[in-house]
Amino acid sequence: MSDEKEVERRHNVVDMMLSMHSMLRDRYARYAAILDLVIFGGSAVLTATTLLDPHILAYLHVSDNGARIVLGIASTLVFFLSILSLRVDWKGESAKHRKAGTVLSALKARARLLGTSPTEAEVTDYFRLYDFAMAGIEPIAERHFLALKARHRRK
């Protein structure tokens, strides 16, 4: 395979990987934001119930025991969601894919600088940079790869 075709192939791979990492970055950031909002919202509501006047429970036709059960279940759910947030670490996943996107963007810009007739030294330098960058970025999970590749191709 000629160097020109290999540069083009690697450029296409970088473009596809950049799309994939950007999609995963956005997806995980969205999941993290939703989970945080649910946890914060649930915590705020539970905190507000400590100031709840017992007469409001009577007005809502809720017994004291019923209210305790509902608050206990809601507190347990909020606690479980906080543990889930720590376990899945969607913010961390988003950051990993953001970093990969930054590296791939720089690599894509570098490929554009090669122009139409790069020297052999420029191509060798690009290949070395490409190999180093690809070895250091977060891999795309196999379960996501095909769907992300399809989305990239539609784009």
**pTM given for the model:** 0.86
In this prediction, the residues of the chain whose per-residue pLDDT falls under 70 are 1
CB-based contact 153:19 (threshold 8 Å) = no
The DSSP output letter for 100 is: H
Q: What pLDDT score was predicted for residue 14? A: 96
Q: What pLDDT score was predicted for residue 53? A: 81
Helix axes 90-113, 64-88, angle to 10 degrees: 30
* Total number of domains constituting the chain: 1
Q: Supply the range of the domain harboring residue 75.
A: 3-154
Our CA dihedral for 23, 25, 26, 31, rounded to 10 degrees, sits at 120
Q: What pLDDT score was predicted for residue 113? A: 85
Q: What is the tens place of the pLDDT at every residue in 57-89?
A: 888 888 888 888 989 999 999 999 999 999 999
Q: What pLDDT score was predicted for residue 107? A: 95
CB-based contact 21:140 (threshold 8 Å) = yes
